[in-house]
């Protein structure tokens, strides 16, 4: 029998080594899932999934060169640039999301970094959506400390800013923003008192060791993100990464499982790429500790399973949407030692 899981002294500021994170990835698949599922059950009801909706409030025209992104102005992807939506138009979408069962409403804008006047307009949207009784989240690019404070004052609960990939692979994907720039924005968000949403993208041609490096970097932040979105690359014609070899489905599940073990009380979210995932693959991800999804037919500019398909999957798996109050847990810093350090496989009877 696998060893009983006991609390350990691993904490933020004493993050497990990258070699230990890689050792988790290298565990036998069923053993890794067992450890991840055990950690998940210590901190969450495994039958509940937090449901969010993501709306692009300002689409396209981004000056950056992220190799995966169809919203970059320099790539011919067919995405037409659109101006910032009005608050009333955003509110209409938020009402629809709440009626469909979403508890969190996320607003995304294709900016490298917003101007102060843009932040004022988004702050108005945040206040209006918050008044509907929804949790609020935004992803607007790099923020100054002043801008983060303004969004916090408007009632923004979460700010998303992904690290995207491992520090040493980052320069292969993005040249218009440094890895440190991302860390700086996250620091501004934490200083303002907002919760952080920080994850990455897998399937961009990175190695397993680099996937371990991404999760090691996220888990090594001053505090664990409240939400950790794990995106599977959506290949869009016209972007430099179109045609990249797809990540093995089991490797994707491994990434979910390791994220759950490293960040026990964070919401681990299935984000981009769900449209092409089978129900069976998503079920494995939930078993591995994923407990959050984006709901709706569109995720910014790429497809996402529609609400009816998700509702049918929840029924088949016996899952239910998480209530808002249940998502307000502060992530713990504790990590389990014996799930990080692979034990020798016990001998089995012949």
Catalytic residue check, 153: no
Annotated catalytic residue, options 18, 35, 95, 137: 137
Q: Collect all residues with Cβ–Cβ distance below 8 Å to 307 and sequence separation of at least 6.
A: 100, 101, 295, 296, 297
Query: Is 106 known to be catalytic?
Result: yes
The catalytic position among 35, 177, 182, 269 is 269
Q: Which of 35, 66, 211, 260 is catalytic?
A: 66
Residue 337: both structure tokens together: 């030692």
Separation CA 299–CA 197 (nearest Å): 16
Catalytic residue check, 198 = no
Which one is catalytic: 35, 62, 232, 260?
A: 62
Selected catalytic residue, list 106, 177, 182, 198: 106
CB 244 within 8 A of CB 284: no
Q: Is 69 a catalytic residue?
A: yes
Q: Is 137 a catalytic residue?
A: yes
C-alpha–C-alpha distance, residues 72 and 303, integer Å? 17
Q: Which of 35, 104, 177, 197 is catalytic?
A: 197
Q: Which residues are catalytic?
A: 62, 66, 69, 106, 137, 197, 269
């Amino acid at each position: 029998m696998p060893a009983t899981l006991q609390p350990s002294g691993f904490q933020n500021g004493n993050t497990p080594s990258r070699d230990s994170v890689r050792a988790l990835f290298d565990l036998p698949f069923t053993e890794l899932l067992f450890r991840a599922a055990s950690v998940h059950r210590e901190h969450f009801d495994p039958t509940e999934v937090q449901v969010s909706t993501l709306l692009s409030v300002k689409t396209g025209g981004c000056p950056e060169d992220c190799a995966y992104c169809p919203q970059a102005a320099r790539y011919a992807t067919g995405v037409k640039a659109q101006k910032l939506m009005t608050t009333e138009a955003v509110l209409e979408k938020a009402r629809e999301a709440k009626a469909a069962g979403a508890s969190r409403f996320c607003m995304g804008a294709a900016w490298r970094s917003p101007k102060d006047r843009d932040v004022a307009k988004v702050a108005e949207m945040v206040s209006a959506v918050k008044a509907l009784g929804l949790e609020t989240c935004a992803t607007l690019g790099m923020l100054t400390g002043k801008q983060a404070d303004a969004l916090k004052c408007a009632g923004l609960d979460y700010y998303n800013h992904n690290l995207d990939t491992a520090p040493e692979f980052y320069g292969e994907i993005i040249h218009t923003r440094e890895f440190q720039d991302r860390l700086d924005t996250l620091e501004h968000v934490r200083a303002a008192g907002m919760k952080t949403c920080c994850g990455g993208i897998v399937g961009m041609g990175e190695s397993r060791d680099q996937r371990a490096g991404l999760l090691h970097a996220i888990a090594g932040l001053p505090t664990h993100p409240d939400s950790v979105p794990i995106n599977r690359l959506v290949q869009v014609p016209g972007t430099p990464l179109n045609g990249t070899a797809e990540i093995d489905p089991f490797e994707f599940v491994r990434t979910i499982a390791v994220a759950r073990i490293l960040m026990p009380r964070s919401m681990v979210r299935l984000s981009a790429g769900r449209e092409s995932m089978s129900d069976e693959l998503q079920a494995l991800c939930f078993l591995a500790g994923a407990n959050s999804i984006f709901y709706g037919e569109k995720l910014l500019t790429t497809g996402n399973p529609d609400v009816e398909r998700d509702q049918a999957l929840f029924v088949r798996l016996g899952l239910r949407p998480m209530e808002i109050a249940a998502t307000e847990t502060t992530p713990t810093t504790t990590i389990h030692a014996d799930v990080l350090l692979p034990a020798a496989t016990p001998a089995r009877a012949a």
